[in-house]
Amino acid sequence: MRYSNSPGVIALSFLCLVSGAEAGKLLVIPSDGSHWTGLKPLVEELGMRGNQVVVVIPEASKSMGPENSTTLTLSVPYTKKQLQIMVQANLEGLMSQDASNALTRAWRYFNSLRVLRSYISRACESLLMNKELMQILKNWRFNAILTDPFEPAGVIVGEYLDIPDIYTLIALPCMVDFEASKCLHPVSYVRMRFTHHIDQMTLAERTVNFLRSVFEPMACEFLYSDVNKLASRYLKKETTITELMSKASLWLMIFDFAFEFPRPVMPNMVMTGALKCEKLEPLPSWRYSQL
């Protein structure tokens, strides 16, 4: 089956999943920054097609604001200025680190996990501990949730509300999406993220790739350790983000094979690389004559 990159076609797929031929209620819990860039046109398209779309955003955000849909704001323990300063400082620190060899790249990767661990745990706690907002979401009786698991708050909320999960995925800091989706990733062929390798690796690069794959579960455990405890406490059962993500109904992979090398995917994964691009215009007629 061929899939189109058109947000309109993808929106129709959503409608079929959410509520058959009728418009439905969709909860959207996005991630900030560039992650919202790929999700926003999809949310707008779904709203224009008659669906009731509710978007939950933090009061302090880099890129999100009131949209053409029902918007619920979430109180967070930081201001927009503090967020910008924190992001800028962390980015400058990470970018200034040496990444010329495998060892220094691994250290840089660990530091990025340390920064993200603090950020995502605070974001999750701000949402889940807001009892008034969570009760509003529960009373709304949504048909499905659309969320970016980069910030796993939406993953936990989907389990709490017991509704189908639809994930948009650019790239997660560790390979939790491979584990959760049971997707094959032979390390002799599929290079690990942030290794700077390509799909045609030398023996030395394949060795590094293999070693990274061995340590990757520990990286995920470190990244999500606080969030796993929070999810278990809130859902009143022992669980992990990996286990919750394994229940996803649909994965929208916002990938472009110009950047992401071909790899095995599962039947419920759809490539939607064009969502982060501007709408393409046809070439002027004079260019056709020169081709």
E-strand ranges in the chain read 25-29, 52-58, 70-74, 144-147, 165-169, 250-253, 269-271
pLDDT: which is higher, 221 or 63: 221
The band of 22, judged by pLDDT with boundaries at 50, 70 and 90, is low
> Taking the CB of residue 57, how many other CB atoms lie within 10 A of it?
21
pLDDT: which is higher, 80 or 4: 80
CATH architecture observed for domain 7-278: 3-Layer(aba) Sandwich (3.40)
What pLDDT sits at residue 30? 86
Mapped onto helix, strand or coil, the DSSP state of residue 73 is: strand
The band of 162, judged by pLDDT with boundaries at 50, 70 and 90, is very high
pLDDT in tens, 183-229: 888 888 888 777 777 778 888 888 888 888 888 888 888 888 899 99
